[in-house]
Structures are given as C-alpha cells and as structure tokens.
Amino acid sequence: MMALGAGAQNDTSVKAKTAQIDTSLKFTEIQKDSTARVNSVKKEEPLVTRYMGDAAPQLRVKDWIKGKPITNFEKGEVYVIDFWATWCGWCIKGMPHLSELARKYKGKVTFAAVSVWEDRGTRGATPEKLKAFVDGMGDKMDFSVASEDTAFTQRDWLNAFHLDYIPVSFIIDGQGRVAWTGNSAHVDTALQKIVNNTWDIEQESARRKYSDSSQNYLDTLDNSVIAKTKRLQLRSGNENLQGFTDSILVVINDMVKKEPKIKYTPEMASHTFAALLITDPHKACEYATEAMASPYAQYAYGMVIEEINFSLRYLTTPKEVYLLGAECYQVKIDQSEPDEDAAYLAKQYQSMADWYRLGGDKLKAIAADKKALKLWEKDADK
Amino acid sequence: MKRIILAFFVLLSVSSTLHAQVLRPVRWSYAAKRLSKTEAVVFIKATIDEDWHLYSQTVPDRGPTRTSFAFSPSKNYALIGTTLEPKPLTRFEKVFGIEVAYFENSVIFQQKIKLNVNGPVTVNGSLEYMTCNDEKCLPPETVSFSIMIK
C-alpha cells in the first residue's frame, strides 16, 4: 500500500486525506486521441513522405525572429536546420554547441533554428515570449531563428520524414538534398563529411534501414520461420525427410518472395542452410557464402558450423561442406576476443583440422593441428 | 531447425504493417473507487517506459510542460481539492534555471470527487503532458478521458 499526496506539499489548500491505492484496482487503458496530433494542416496538400537523399522541402516559416532569413537553399551551400521548442530542455542544452559549429563552419554552412510545437497545450510561448527567449539566449543561438508556420513547417519537414521528437536537425548538402537527419546533438560527424564532400547518402540510408525500427519487423518475420516449419515437421512426422525438407524450402522461398530482406536473417539462414544441406549440399555452400557477404554475416559463420555439426549425425557430408565449415572456424577464431582462453582456441583449431582432413585438404589440416598444439602447450604452461 | 524462440511469435500479428516508428513512451489508464454514497476517487495512471520522464504538476512555467488535468464541469459531481500526486523525483535543470520535478516508471494521480446524484456518474476531462528521455523530447499531448464511477 502506498500513500499518495506527499508530493502536493506546495499546495497548502490540499490537506485532505487521500485514498489508499487498493492493489485490486483495475486500470483501464485510455486510448490515445489521434485527432490531438493533427495540426491545422491544409487539406488540399496531402502529407508527402520524404527520405534522406530527397530534395529538401521548401522552408516555409511564420516569422524570422533573428538573423538573415533563409529564402531558399543555394546550390553549393550547406545548411543545418534545427527544430526546437522553449519547453524542450535538450533543445536548449544543445544550442551552444550548434552555435560553436556555426562559427566553425562560417562561410561554408548556414545554420538556422526553427521553433515548433509552441502551440501545443498550455505551456507554449507566445510570439512575444519566444522573441524574448531567443534574445535572452544571445550568442548561445548564434544563427538565424524562425518560428514555424503551423500549416507547413512541421508537415513538410518533421512529419514528411517521420520524425516525431526534438531536437532534430536536417543537413542540406550543396546539391540541395537532405543528406542527414537526426538528433541535433549528433550532427558533427555527418556535417564534417558533407562539407568535405565525403558523405555517402546511400550508404547511410542502407545502414539505417538495417538499424532502425523496421529491423524489429524483420526480426519478427525471421523468427516466424521457426513456427512455420515446426508445424510442417509435425505434419510430416519426420519419416519423410526429403519431403519435409522440400516443404521447408517452399515455405522459405515464399517468405523471401514476400520480403527479400529476410533472405539471410539469422533464423532464415539456419533453416535455409540446413534444408539445402539435405537436398543440395552444393547449393547450401553457395547460399552460406552469400550469407557471409550479407549484413547478417556475423551470425552466418557460427550458424554454418552448428548446422554442419548437426547434419553430420544423419547425412553423408560432401568434402565441399567440410571445407566451408573449416573456413568458418577460421573466421570464428579471427573474430574472437584478444584475451580468449587458449584451450578454447585450441579446440577450435582442432575441429578445423578435422574438417580440413575430411574435406581432403591435408596441408591445411596439418597447419591447423600445429596451431592447436601450440595453444595446448600455452595452456599447459599456465 | 533447432533453437525454438517462442517469445517473438506473439508480436507477429501486431506488427506486420509496421512502417515508421511511432514513439509512445507514456501510456495512460484509469480506475475509480467509490468511498461512500457521495464521495469517490478517480485514479489516473501513467505507465512510463524506461529512461523516459513525465513531469510533475508543480513544474513552473519556465520548465518543461507540466502534467495537468482539466475536469469538465458537471452538475453531477464536484471536485474536492486538487489532483494529488506522489512525491516526485527532482533535478536541478541548468538550462531552465529551476528545480524540475518528474516521475519515472509509473505514477498514479488521484482526484477526489463529490457525487451529487445517485447511481453511476461519468467524469469527463482531459490531461496534458509531455515526456523526455536522455536525449530528446516528444511534443506535449492532450489525452481525453471518460471515467465511469459505478
């Protein structure tokens, strides 16, 4: 039981005893009112989704409160547009740093801050208060400052790029493209590269594609292969291994057709590789090599070793597969921590030697044996 | 074809149309309890994701947007006192130059109500709040509620 009300000490009028919170109380979720988020957006212009690399939208604001207005993005000029609010502590905290950058890149990069969401709720600043706030910041906001046009600014920038938080900055490159978006605290690296013309928008977009929230979706899809094939396993009763494997591959092909990005995700990779080891070991090796060149390479090596070990119990394994597995051991060893236990590494080399031998590469097998031996000696010396 | 990870299955049906991430770190819920024939308490609970902060009703104007409640006037009920909250955490925020009071994890606000009629009474109103984590803030939101006291 927790007594409430202790925090209201500022309000002396409230000394009434508060009810104790009954642990049996059943709370009902309040569904969020979706209309609360819609601004006075003009109906005739629908929201356009924009991506990094697209041409920067026009910067339509209400008033330029401070500094020279930015009317359009000049070719050859780089711009940083920061979105902020007076109630946003992180936004204000970041201003001196943005000002420092503005001074550092003077003549190369034009900075501006646009205030947003001051109309939300009861706390927002009036135009007069906003102006007073900006004046009070002095050279902590050493760049042009504008207030948003509630009809356009958020819709064209934040909403179009699916950004729902502040502080957010956009970097517009010399070609007028949005070259970077993100938390204003993290503009430094990208800005420097954009100024130096060494920034690769496509690469950054690809990196984000694999690290943003859509990754959760891919993870979920990836994991669903377990449930789908487990069901097939139950159906086939495992008596017909070939038929079972074929139906797994049908499921996998179907899933990849719908979402090509999951072709090499961890669970998909282990299911595909295991099934191909049964139906077509050569294809299995080809697939594994592709997986090792995919963004999921880090999972692929361990998976290949595991699946080969698993399949050895009931399959005759061609030499090609053993050689692939041996190479995976090498990568696994190369990627191990510098202070990795010598005995552990020795075992890895020993397994590698076994597979090289089974794969018919006697020289590599001997080399791996030697390395294992050295590590065993090192372990014995301890 | 080994390792069976069950935890993710349930998510599948929910997130299959996921597009852009929509942050929703604070979720609101309510409950009500009748104390007597003429008195009741409504509880409004915020469940806050890890690392996010919800601000106390006592935050001054110069700081982040404080949490606030507006109960619709009605002849069926009257408010007794103000909306109460537990003791918040506090931190001096240099950028605002003030002590900012906030909540983490979850917080239950409560409002005592005097009931003017017999039978069930519905308390309507809205609340406003904003939330920040350790590097960003979401804009203030208004959430409407309608709480039935049986």
CATH of the domain at B57: 2.60.40.1250
Q: Choose the weakest-confidence range: A59-63, A254-258, B71-75.
A: A254-258
Distance from C-alpha of B88 to C-alpha of B63, rounded to nearest angstrom? 15
CA A217 to mean position of chain CA atoms: 12
Tell me what the pLDDT averaged over chain A comes to: 85
Average pLDDT on A357-369 reads 95
Q: If you measure CA to CA, which chain A residue comes closest to B129?
A: A121
Average pLDDT on A204-221 reads 69
Which A residues, 45 through 74, put their C-beta within 8 Å of a C-beta on chain B? none
A226 touches chain B (CB under 8 A): yes
Q: If you measure CA to CA, which chain A residue comes closest to B22?
A: A164
pLDDT at A34: 44
Q: What ranges do the domains of chain A cover?
A: 61-211, 214-381
pLDDT at A164: 87
In this predicted structure, the answer to whether residue A295 has a pLDDT above a threshold of 90 is no
Domain A214-381 has CATH 1.25.40: yes
Neighbouring C-beta atoms of residue A370, cutoff 10 Å: 12
Which A residues, 229 through 288, put their C-beta within 8 Å of a C-beta on chain B? 229-230, 233, 248, 267, 270-271, 274-275
How do strand A109-115 and strand A144-148 relate by DSSP bridges?
A: parallel
In this predicted structure, the answer to whether residue A315 has a pLDDT above a threshold of 50 is yes
pLDDT at A221: 78
Beta-bridge partners for B53: B132
Residue B13 lies in a domain: no
Looking at the partner chain, which of A165, A212, A248 has a beta carbon nearest the beta carbon of B136?
A: A165
Taking only the tens of pLDDT, chain B with its 150 residues reads: 433 333 333 232 233 223 334 568 899 999 999 999 999 999 999 999 888 999 999 999 888 999 999 999 999 999 999 999 999 999 998 888 899 999 999 999 999 999 999 989 999 999 999 999 888 999 999 999 999 998
Q: Which two tokens stand for residue A309?
A: 């070990």
Domain count across chain B = 1
**Which is more confidently placed, A227 or A350?**
A350
Residue B14 lies in a domain: no
| Three-state secondary structure call for residue B96 | coil
Nearest CA to B109 among A359, A246, A132, A4?
A4
A5 touches chain B (CB under 8 A): yes
pLDDT tens, A83-131?
Answer: 999 999 999 999 999 999 999 999 999 999 999 999 886 777 899 999 9
- B-chain CB neighbours of A10 within 8 Å are 58
pLDDT at B10: 28
A123 touches chain B (CB under 8 A): yes
Select A61-211's CATH number: 1.10.10.1100, 3.40.50.2020, 3.40.30.10, 3.30.390.10. Answer: 3.40.30.10
Phi, psi for residue B40 in degrees, rounded to 5? -150, 165
Q: If you measure CA to CA, which chain B residue comes closest to A95?
A: B95
- B-chain CB neighbours of A28 within 8 Å are 29-31
B106 touches chain A (CB under 8 A): no
Q: Choose the weakest-confidence range: A229-238, A290-299, B47-56, B91-100.
A: A229-238
| Three-state secondary structure call for residue A75 | coil
Beta-bridge partners for A366: none
Which A residues, 157 through 196, put their C-beta within 8 Å of a C-beta on chain B? 162, 164-168, 183, 185
In this predicted structure, the answer to whether residue A29 has a pLDDT above a threshold of 50 is yes
Residue B17 lies in a domain: no
Test B30 with A30 for CB contact under 8 angstroms: yes
Give the residue numbers spanning the domain of B121: 24-149
Looking at the partner chain, which of B4, B138, B141 has a beta carbon nearest the beta carbon of A36?
A: B141
pLDDT at A182: 92
Q: Choose the weakest-confidence range: A100-114, A158-172, A246-260.
A: A246-260
Torsion angle defined by CA atoms of residues A263, A264, A268 and A274, in that order, rounded to the nearest 10 degrees:
110
pLDDT at A84: 97
Looking at the partner chain, which of A5, A6, A29 has a beta carbon nearest the beta carbon of B29?
A: A29
| Three-state secondary structure call for residue A350 | helix
